[in-house]
Amino acid sequence: MNGFDWAAFGSGLGWSAVAALGVMLATFGVALRKGMHRIVDVAWGLAFAAVALVGFVASAGIGDPGRRVLVTVLTVGWGLRLAGHIALRGRGHGEDPRYEAMLAKAPGSPNLYALRMVYLLQGALVWLVSLPVQAAQYIAGPMSAVAWAGGCLWAVGVFFEAVGDAQLARFKGDPANKGRIMDRGLWRYTRHPNYFGDFCVWWGLFLIACDSPAAAAVSVVSPVVMSLLLTKGSGQRLLERHMAQRPGYAEYVARTSGFFPLPPR
């Protein structure tokens, strides 16, 4: 059975919290200068990358080098791709309507409210969701078939995210599609290929941490929380509420799986 260094992991949790908080506070400072809070969405992926890199440095000489490299590369790659995609998608646009609506109702200073309810909250979520990444860094011993399967599941997730995002961007970029529902490519099999991809990414990273029962036990909350956020929280539920009034969307819902890819009905 692979060993797990609880003491080093506990110390690493503190450093990862500093990393996530640092990224969010720096982003808050940039947002104040720009007068626009939508850039916090870019910082989401960057904060995960920062946590993974800090964990890699902090676990040097403790965890298995191969596992440390794998989980760091996968997390940094996922975070940078997501950050770049969101940055390009928002280029040239003003404030996100979600943040405008939220801050319009904010008690007291809107910026301080945004700091508490957006930046610090997202920083805390980054710290929580990244637990498998942090825990995997402190596992000694060789990687198992389960860990390699986790890497494969991560690859499936990134495929659905990247391809789904690219297909949607091309669809929206064609003026002939204005007001139409995207039901092509991966979007023909699931209404949310990007959210399904995110789901696979975090369950895949969790499987890498399953090489140690202790690491698995301390980090299983991460994919569970992410799954709930994607399906019941700020992901699928809110987006579908926003899309519900569009012409043709009810028919799209009737024939297309809500989350897991399935043949159209």
123-158 pLDDT per residue, tens:
999 999 999 999 999 999 999 999 999 999 999 999
Which one-letter amino acid corresponds to residue 141?
Answer: G
Residues with Cβ within 8 Å of 240's Cβ and at least 6 positions away in sequence, in order, are 191, 253
Q: What's the chain's length in residues?
A: 265
Q: Which long-range contacts (CB under 8 A, 24 or more apart) does 17-23 make?
A: 17/127, 18/54, 19/47, 19/50, 19/51, 19/53, 19/54, 20/47, 20/50, 20/51, 20/123, 20/124, 20/126, 20/127, 20/130, 21/120, 21/123, 22/50, 23/47, 23/50, 23/123, 23/126
Query: Is a pLDDT exceeding 70 seen at residue 238?
Result: no
Q: Among residues 203, 188, 194, which one has the least CA distance to residue 133?
A: 203
Q: Are 138 and 63 spatial neighbours (Cβ–Cβ below 8 Å)?
A: yes
Query: Is a pLDDT exceeding 70 seen at residue 212?
Result: yes
Q: Are 86 and 41 spatial neighbours (Cβ–Cβ below 8 Å)?
A: yes
Rounded-to-integer distance, Cα 69 and Cα 77, Å: 12
What are the strands, taking DSSP E only, across 173-221?
none
Question: Rg (Cα) of the chain, in Å, rounded?
Answer: 19
Please state the pTM of the whole predicted model: 0.93
Phi and psi at residue 146, to the nearest 5°:
-65, -40
Phi and psi at residue 234, to the nearest 5°:
-85, 0
**Mean pLDDT, rounded, for 78-97:** 91
Q: Is 226 exposed, middle or buried (0-12, 13-18, 19+ CB in 10 A)?
A: buried
Q: What is the distance in angstroms between the CA of the first residue and the CA of the last residue of the chain?
A: 46
Q: What is the pLDDT of residues 16-44, one digit of tens each?
A: 999 999 999 999 999 999 999 999 999 99
Q: Which residues face 4 on adjacent strands?
A: 139
Q: What is the pLDDT of residues 165-197, one digit of tens each?
A: 999 999 999 999 988 899 999 999 999 999 999
Rounded-to-integer distance, Cα 79 and Cα 73, Å: 10
**pLDDT at 121 (0 to 100):** 95
Rounded-to-integer distance, Cα 38 and Cα 86, Å: 10
